Amino acid sequence: MQDAEGARPAGRQRWRDLLFLHWPVPLDSLRPLVPRGLEIDSFAGESYVSLILFEIIESRPEGAPRVMASHFLETNVRTYVRDADGEPGVYFFSLEASSLLAVTAARLLFGLPYFHAAMCMRREGAETQYTSRRRGSRDATIEVAWSIGDALDAAADGSRDHFLIERYSLYVARHRGLYRGRVRHRPYPLRRVTVKRLRQTLLSAAALPAPSAPPIAHYSPGVDVEIFWLKRVKGVSR
């Protein structure tokens, strides 16, 4: 299947058990960390950073048989941006993955700031426990536990929930230029979630301010995703 511009996907992934944690942050703490050519996006005057934790139960290049797929955990730290044309997307400060192959491929092919991490996800009854520690660093960790509840409606267009979770473009600064990569999937199905424990140093490791309040949390059981190659954003240099 092709996207609206006629491009074919670079790969396919199946994302499962996604926990989204969001905090409002001052815009002036983000601006020095985000490349020129990207506007910090905001909702009702608030800019945000988010931690997203999930399991990728299948990741494979487009056309590759499923027997070649990899399976790993991932955590990313991101904020919300728009390019000069107004297209909304995300900008990643860091991404942790339990697969060294995935880290190497994503750094080489997409220029994304991936790090190899020791990660574990356990389910005990209604509670899920998730831990991650970046290899070679004591200051990039997360420990979190949550429980899920009833199903919710999909995030309504124009709502804060939609602003925070329904993003289909990512931006990367590399080779003295700015690039956009798109993903395609159905809207996230959502369920109620209660965060029971949370300790993390990933935000400070990305030079972001420490949260002063509990996070806004969302949970999704998952989506199947098509991932497209990067394309240069015209007229923007680093």
Tokens of 223: 């989506």
- pLDDT band of 125, cuts 50, 70, 90: confident
Q: What integer pLDDT is reported at residue 1 of this predicted model?
A: 45
The per-residue pLDDT for range 73-122, each reduced to its tens digit, is: 999 999 999 999 999 999 999 999 999 999 999 999 999 999 999 999 99
- pLDDT band of 238, cuts 50, 70, 90: low
The closest alpha carbon to 216, from 1, 4, 19, 8, belongs to: 19
- Is it the case that residue 194 has pLDDT exceeding 60? yes
Q: What integer pLDDT is reported at residue 131 of this predicted model?
A: 98
Residue 73's Cβ-side half-sphere holds a number of Cα atoms within 13 Å equal to 19
- pLDDT band of 124, cuts 50, 70, 90: confident
Looking at residue 46, what DSSP letter applies? Answer: B
- Is it the case that residue 19 has pLDDT exceeding 80? yes
The per-residue pLDDT for range 199-208, each reduced to its tens digit, is: 999 999 999 9
The per-residue pLDDT for range 138-175, each reduced to its tens digit, is: 889 999 999 999 999 999 999 999 999 999 999 999 88
- Is it the case that residue 2 has pLDDT exceeding 60? no
Residues 6+ apart with CB under 8 A from 24: 46, 47, 48
- Is it the case that residue 182 has pLDDT exceeding 60? yes
Question: What Rg value do the Cα atoms of the chain yield, rounded?
Answer: 17
Residues 6+ apart with CB under 8 A from 78: 49, 50, 52, 90, 91, 92, 93
Q: What is the mean pLDDT of the chain?
A: 94
| DSSP labels, 125-184 | TTEEEEEEEETT-SSSEEEEEEEEEEEEPPPPTTSHHHHHH---EEEEEETTEEEEEEEE
φ/ψ (deg, to 5) at 31: -55, -40
In the chain, the domains with their CATH numbers are: 11-237 (2.40.400.10)
- Is it the case that residue 181 has pLDDT exceeding 80? yes
- pLDDT band of 234, cuts 50, 70, 90: confident
The closest alpha carbon to 149, from 196, 194, 214, belongs to: 194
Query: Is the distance from CB of 156 to CB of 140 less than 8 angstroms?
Result: no
Q: What integer pLDDT is reported at residue 126 of this predicted model?
A: 82
- pLDDT band of 67, cuts 50, 70, 90: confident
